[in-house]
């Protein structure tokens, strides 16, 4: 019986290509095998989430078209089982609180320590995909 491990799909949503490629490189260099997709705005992210159903979304709060918190709420309505980790350069306690209330799995501030990415991603992917809150 073949017990091949199916790679987890991760969608990175950020309008800064340097952040996106940094996160993709961190995930590519990890011990796990991930399929990484990218979106630079909320509309593209929501389209990808609807069609691809990623295993995890790394989502920037500040996007050019739709606020990341609104994207988070829409992800919850598309599929509440998809864990979402918010990423932001804004040191805003209100945004953090709102993200967690809206169902974010976690919150990573920018600039981030690259060593903190892999453990948070691993925890989010290990969590059973329950039906939400």
CA 110 to chain centre: 14
Q: Which two tokens stand for residue 99?
A: 């993200």
CATH topology of domain 8-125: Rossmann fold (3.40.50)
Q: What is the pTM of this model?
A: 0.89
How do residues 72-117 score in pLDDT, each as one tens digit? 999 999 999 999 999 987 666 777 888 999 999 998 888 888 888 9
Segment 91-100 long-range contacts (CB within 8 Å, at least 24 positions apart): 95/61, 95/69, 98/69, 99/61, 99/69, 99/72
């Amino acid at each position: 019986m073949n017990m091949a491990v199916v790679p987890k799909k991760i969608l990175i949503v950020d309008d800064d290509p340097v952040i996106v490629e940094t996160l993709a490189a961190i995930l590519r260099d990890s011990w796990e095998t991930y399929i990484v997709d990218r979106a630079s705005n909320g509309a593209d992210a929501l389209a990808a989430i609807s069609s691809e159903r990623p295993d995890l979304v790394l989502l920037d709060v500040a996007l050019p078209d739709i606020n990341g918190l609104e994207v988070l709420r829409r992800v919850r309505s598309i599929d509440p089982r998809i864990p979402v980790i918010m990423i932001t350069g804004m040191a805003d306690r209100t945004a953090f609180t709102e993200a967690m209330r809206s169902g974010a799995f976690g919150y990573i501030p920018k600039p981030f320590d690259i060593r903190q990415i892999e453990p948070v991603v691993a925890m989010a992917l290990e969590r059973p995909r329950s039906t939400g809150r």
